Amino acid sequence: MFAEIFIFFLLTIVFLLYYWCKYTYSYWLRHGIPQSKPIPFIGNMKKTITFKRNFGLHASDIYNEPEMADKPVVGVYIFNQPALIIRDLDLIKSILIKDFNYFSNRYGNCDPHRDALGSYNLFFARDAFWKEMRVKISPVFTSGKIKQMYPLIRQIGCELEDFLARRGDTFTANLKDICSLFTTDSIATIAFGINANSLKNPNGEFRRHTQSFFSFNLWRSIEFSVVFFLPKLVNIFKATMFSKEFTKFLRSAINDTLDERDRKGYERNDLIDILVKLRKEAAEGKHSFTDNDFLVAQAAVFLTAGFETSSSTMAFSLYELAKQPDIQEKLRKEIHEALLECNGNLTYEKINSLQYLNMVLEETLRLYPILPFLDRQFKAPNDEKHKIKLENYNYTLRNGIPVYIPIYALQRDPKYWKNPESFDPERFSAENKKLQHPMTYLPFGTGPHNCIGMRIGLLQSKVGLVHLLKNHHVAACKQTPKEAKLKDMGVILQFESGVNLLVKRDNMYDKIPLK
């Protein structure tokens, strides 16, 4: 009798699970939306959770499935959560700009109690809190304020030259590591008001902490996956963007610097100046950001927006330039002429006017967008429903549904880019840019929720490349891969293990010292 009851109970559970899976994973089919074939319980996340494919690259694979070629959207499942991958350019524009109020939040989220810096970080902030915070922190990222920071970044560029000179006339090195040393010192000085000296001491404290944040080992990859794709389970997994150790380090670094600025009353034209002002306003009751971690989190914004974006963009650029010496020499010629014109000291206006340098960086970010996808979550006021306007579809979007914009796929789609796998800066000449649809190039997003650190990230990359290529030529060596091998762990695009290049000093511009 017991055995019969047990078998009946077991069969009931199996039947219920079967019915649940069939119902759950037919959501898009029931609504007339084409879907990529899911796997029970994990949906379309198999390659991501087994670390065989970065999610951005996996979304690109789904985008490129032959049967989806003419479809405006593709239904997928983030485990058991229905989601959409957006292929239609007009719909992408609607999500990011026209209907932004419905899609102002990211799907990912952080625990405000266990991970205050992640929760207060502008990247994950939500609703009215995000809006108020963006207004308060935006003055740091204006062209005028960044211009004031430029001499600080340029000084780190000079230190990069000294670092290269110490390595000798010819050497082979992991250029990603060198670029990371440069951006570490740059972010440390403009965001934290400290001298990290990573180019002189690569094992320094600041360098160790920033390196640990962006090093995607198994546990860090799991944490990021939970934060981005399972936000409701953040508490259960105790997943954080910023570890306890890193949070402690940031708090100490920022609070010590804030106290020193308060005490001495001087300004340095950096982020700390803004944070001092915000702390004073909080004490006077002028805004609601009274938690000290709010101030620390804004320095973390600089770190997340400027460090990896700039160092990886520089490294990817150098990799492509090493493979195409003609493009490299054309860029170096432009840099040389600009240095001659400015007597060796590139002004902020001059470095931003270098057209070919801009084209090289834009093409680099087309091939290698550091964040290869954008995520948004539909949220309608008063739980109202919103119809997606698609030809031949009449789907009513359910509250809470995440949508994903596959930047990597869009920027390599042969429908929009001729020979999309080739590195060709001429795509971004003034004439050719007029022919591009703006929604096919989104390395920093667009609309109100675009990357606030875009200008700083690009400026750092420009300064780093100018100082590196001023007297040095890079070339492929035996360890240089023919095709870039990208890391499968994590959510951003990184080289699997850096990029080794041959660096030769030719003193081409040495007669024009940069100071």
Which residues on adjacent β-strands are paired with residue 82?
77
Say how far apart CA 223 and CA 221 lie, in whole Å. 5
Tokens standing for residue 434: 């007029």
Q: What's the mean pLDDT in 243-263? A: 87
| Residue-level pLDDT at 153 | 96
> Over pLDDT 90: what percentage of the chain?
58
Fold of 31-505: Cytochrome p450 (1.10.630)
Report the chain's mean pLDDT, rounded to a whole number. 90
Confidence tier at 453 by pLDDT (50, 70, 90) = confident
CA distance 295 to 275: 6
Q: Indicate whether 514 pLDDT > 60.
A: no
Among the ranges given (82-91, 101-110, 276-285, 498-507), the one the predictor scored with the smallest mean pLDDT? 276-285
The pLDDT of residue 389 is 62
Q: Is 477 annotated as a binding residue?
A: no
Please report the pLDDT score of residue 386 as a whole number: 67
Q: Where are the domains of the chain?
A: 31-505
For 14-100, strand residue ranges (E) read 73-78, 81-86
What is the chain's Cα-based Rg?
A: 24
For residue 391, the model assigns a pLDDT of: 57
pLDDT value of residue 307? 80
Confidence bin at 73 (pLDDT 50/70/90): very high
User: How much helix, strand and coil, in percent to the nearest 5, is found in the chain?
Assistant: 55, 10, 35
* Residues 40-68: tens digit of each pLDDT: 999 999 999 998 999 999 999 999 999 99
- Digit-coded pLDDT (tens) for 346-403: 999 999 999 999 999 999 999 999 999 999 999 877 666 666 665 566 778 888 999 9
Give the model's confidence band at 141: pLDDT under 50 very low, under 70 low, under 90 confident, else very high: confident
pLDDT band at residue 221 using 50, 70 and 90 as cut-offs: confident
For the stretch 257-313, pLDDT in tens is 888 888 888 788 788 888 888 888 877 776 666 678 888 888 887 777 678 889 999
pLDDT at 371 (0 to 100): 94
pLDDT grade for 515, boundaries at 50, 70 and 90: very low
pLDDT on residue 415: 96
Q: Give the dihedral of Cα atoms 231, 237, 238, 243; nearest 10 deg.
A: -90
- Is the Cβ–Cβ distance between 434 and 122 less than 8 Å? no
* Amino acid residing at 279: R
Q: For the chain, report the end-to-end CA distance as a whole number of angstroms.
A: 89
SS3 336: helix
Can you give the pLDDT at residue 86? 97
Tens-digit pLDDT profile for residues 194-218: 899 999 999 888 888 888 777 777 7
Residues near 506 by beta carbon (within 8 Å), at least 6 away in sequence: 471, 472, 473
Residue from 378, 370, 449, 363 nearest 407 by CA: 370
Q: Amino acid letter at 162?
A: D
| DSSP letter string, 337-383 | HHHHHTTT---HHHHHT-HHHHHHHHHHHHH--SS--EEEE---GGG
